[in-house]
Amino acid sequence: MKSQNLIKLVKPVIIVFYLLFVCLIFAETTTTITDIEVQGLKRTNPIVVKNLLKAYINRDADKINTDEIIALLVATGIFENVTVSVKENTNQTVLFISLEEKWSIIPLPLVSIKSDSYVFGLGFFDANAFGLNHKLFSSASVSSKGPSIALGYIINSLWQSKWDGVFSISYATKDETFTDVYEHEISTSDITSFSATISGNYSILNILKWDFGFEYQTKSYTDEQDTDLTSLGLQTGITLQSNAHWNGVFLTMSGVQFYYTWYYGIEGPSYGVFLTKGSYETAPVKNLKLSFRSVGLWGPQTPQLAEIGANKLGLIILPDTYTVYTMATFRSGLELKLFSSGIVTFAGLAHYHIGYSEGSRTEPHIDYGPSFGLRLYLAKVALPAMDINIAYNQTTGLYQASFSIGMQM
C-alpha cells in the first residue's frame, strides 16, 4: 500500500523531468555576438565604431536589426556605404561592418561684399577630429568694422563613456542693424561681443540625455547710449530622442528638448530663459521625408543686448535683423529627392511656417507663410547639408532669402 502511494507521488515528478529533458534536446541553440570587426576605416580609430555598437555585444545574432546599425553609423555624418553582416567562426560570432569614410577636413572661404561693408576670412571644419568622431570648427575674418574669431570643439563619447562635451569661444566686432518685422530700421549699433561656453550631456538611457553647461558672455554696443552686458549663464535640460532610421536616401530622427538657463548679471540684470524644441520626421516612401518642428522661447526679462534673432530659431519668414525674447513657432513640410549624380544629391524643400513673437523693440506679432528651397548633400564629404530657401511672409508681404548649413543625410 505504501509502495503504491510512493509511486503515485514520484510519477508526476518523473514526467516533469522527462518533459524538461525533451525540451532541452529539441531546443534551438542561439548564438550571441561576441566581437565586432570593422573594415574600411582609414583615419577613424576603430574604437569609435566599437563604442557606438557596444550594446550589440552578447545580443542574439538572429535578432540583430541591420537597418538600425546602418542608421546609427550614418548619423555620425562621417560614414557612408555601410553594410552589416554576421559571421560565425569556430569560437565566436562576429558582427562584421563594412563602410567607407567621408572626407572630413574642409576649408571654408568666408566672403561678403556689400555697398557699405565687407568681410574676408577663412573657416576650417573637421568632422572627425583626431579620428575620434569629434568636431572641430574655427574661423577668422576681417570686416570693415574689425576682426572676428571663433573656435569650437565637440566631444562625442568622452573617453568612450556616456559623456559628451562641447567647448566654444568667439569674439566679434560688427555693425548691426535692428528692425521690426516689416524691416523698418529701429537702430544701428557698433557691437563688440565675446562668449565662452563649456557644456556636456550624459546618456541616462539610449534615448534620454541630461544636459548641463556654463556660458560667459559680454556684449557692448554704441548708439545714443552706451550699453554693456556681462553675465554668467548656468544651463540644464533634458533631451529625449528616438533612434535614427535610414532608408537609403533619408535619415530621420524625432525628439524633444527642454532647457532652462539662468544668467547671473555681473554687469547688467540677471534673467532666465526657457527654451524647448520638438521634431518629428518620417519617410513614408523612399524618396520623400515629412517633418514637423516646433520651437518655444520664453524670457520676458531678457535685456535687449541678449535677445535672439527669430530667424536663427527657425522662423525664416522673418528678417534676421528682428530679435525676440519670447517666441512660439510651428513648421510642417516635406523634402523630396530630385536627383542624384552619385556625388551630389539635390532635394526640394517645401514648408509652411506660423509663429508668435515678441521683443523689446516691437509689439507682439503673429506671422505665417510658406518657404521653398533646395537642399544639397555631398556624398563623399562630411559636410552637413546646405540649404537655400526663399520664404514669403503673408502677414507683412515681404520675402526673405536664407542660406544655412545644418541637417545631415
E-assigned strand segments in 18-143: 35-39, 79-88, 93-101, 105-113, 118-129, 134-143
Q: Which helix (H) or strand (E) holds 370?
A: strand 365-378
Contact between residue 37 and residue 96 where contact means Cβ atoms under 8 Å apart: yes
Report which DSSP code applies to 54: G
Report which DSSP code applies to 303: -
* Each residue's pLDDT tens digit, 112-162: 766 566 788 999 999 999 999 999 999 999 887 788 999 999 998 765 667
Is domain 181-405 annotated with CATH 2.40.160.50? yes
H helix count then E strand count, the chain: 3, 23
371-397 burial, b at 16+ Cβ within 10 Å, e below that, comes to bebebebbeeebbbbebebebbbebbe
pLDDT recorded at residue 3 = 54
Report which DSSP code applies to 102: P
Radius of gyration of the CA atoms of the chain, in A: 27
Q: Which helix (H) or strand (E) holds 354?
A: strand 344-358
pLDDT recorded at residue 26 = 47
pLDDT recorded at residue 402 = 84
Domain spans of the chain?
Answer: 1-100, 181-405
Sheet holding 79-88, edge to edge: 35-39, 93-101, 79-88
Residue with cell 535677445: 307
Contact between residue 163 and residue 142 where contact means Cβ atoms under 8 Å apart: no
Instruction: Tell me the C-alpha distance between 142 and 184, whole Å.
Output: 28
Instruction: Tell me the C-alpha distance between 336 and 322, whole Å.
Output: 31
* pLDDT averaged over 10-residue windows placed end to end, the chain, 409 residues: 54 59 52 91 93 89 90 92 89 92 90 70 93 93 86 81 87 87 88 93 84 93 74 96 90 95 95 97 96 97 91 90 95 96 91 96 93 92 86 96 64
DSSP string, 141-175: EEESS-EEEEEEEEESSGGGSSEEEEEEEEEEEEE
pLDDT recorded at residue 174 = 81
pLDDT recorded at residue 9 = 54
Q: What is the CATH number of domain 1-100?
A: 3.10.20.310
- Which residues lie below 8 Å from residue 231, measured CB to CB, with a gap of 6+? 216, 217, 218, 263, 264, 265, 266, 267, 268, 270, 306
